[in-house]
């Protein structure tokens, strides 16, 4: 493992949340979609199932996306702002079946606040370990998704949206076309 377990989970969840903001296909169209996202990424604590909560979570996405586009100084500004606005106060806690890990806002804070703070705390880890190059954009030319490269040899190129397969199929077709010409 490269980073603490909660850091890695938070980074993966942040990338997944950013990627739901697809202009062609909204990944969080309704409260039910947010419910599925909540479960898929192992969130717990306060979850209102309301349109307001959904709106707050959606509004967080462009801000988190900036983290992938920003240089280090700007990223640090965003991270510090997110922590400050949320009045983050790191505490080690244990809940459900998880071992001790950090929460920086109470479990009854709004979901979007907790998502913002978890992402910010994980980004702080990347800054401190000089690993911001782990934040990458999908290499597929038709894809705007972001990803977190948690592989040992920094070899990850494609997002979770099936772009790796798409690229392999195109490469295969290109080779075939070349060999038949």
The verdict on 11 binding Zn ion (CB under 5 A) reads no
Minimum CB distance to Zn ion, residue 65 (Å): 14
**To the nearest whole angstrom, how small is the minimum distance from the Cβ of residue 101 to Zn ion?**
6
Q: Which of 37, 145, 148, 167 binds Zn ion (CB under 5 A)?
A: 145
CB of 78 to Zn ion, least distance (A): 23
CA torsion 147→99→60→16, rounded to 10°?
30
Largest CA distance in the chain: 64
Helix (H) or strand (E) holding 98: none
Helical H segments across 130-162, by residue range: none
Say whether residue 64 binds Zn ion (CB under 5 A).
no
Q: List, in sequence order, every residue forming a beta bridge with 39; answer none if it has no partner.
A: none
Q: What number of residues does the chain have?
A: 181
The one segment of 74-82, 127-135, 160-168, 169-177 that binds Zn ion by CB under 5 A: 160-168
Q: How far apart are CA 123 and CA 108, in angstroms?
A: 22
State in angstroms the smallest separation of the CB of 173 from Zn ion. 18
Residues forming contacts to Zn ion in the complex (CB under 5 A) are 138, 140, 143, 145, 159, 161, 163
């Amino acid at each position: 493992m490269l980073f603490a377990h909660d850091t890695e989970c938070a980074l993966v969840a942040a990338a997944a949340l950013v990627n739901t903001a697809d202009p062609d296909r909204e990944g969080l169209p309704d409260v039910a979609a947010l419910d599925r996202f909540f479960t898929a990424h192992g969130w717990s604590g306060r979850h209102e199932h309301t349109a307001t909560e959904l709106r707050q979570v959606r509004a967080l996405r462009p801000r988190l996306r900036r983290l992938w586009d920003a240089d280090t100084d700007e990223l640090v500004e965003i991270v510090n702002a997110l922590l400050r606005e949320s009045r983050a106060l790191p505490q080690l806690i244990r809940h459900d079946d998880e071992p001790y890990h950090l929460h920086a806002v109470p479990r009854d804070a709004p979901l979007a606040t907790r998502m913002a703070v978890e992402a910010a705390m994980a980004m702080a880890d990347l800054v401190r370990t000089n690993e911001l190059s782990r934040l990458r954009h999908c290499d597929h030319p038709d894809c705007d998704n972001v990803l977190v490269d948690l592989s040992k040899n920094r070899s990850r190129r494609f997002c979770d949206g099936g772009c790796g397969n798409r690229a392999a199929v195109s490469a295969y077709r290109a080779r075939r076309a070349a060999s038949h010409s």
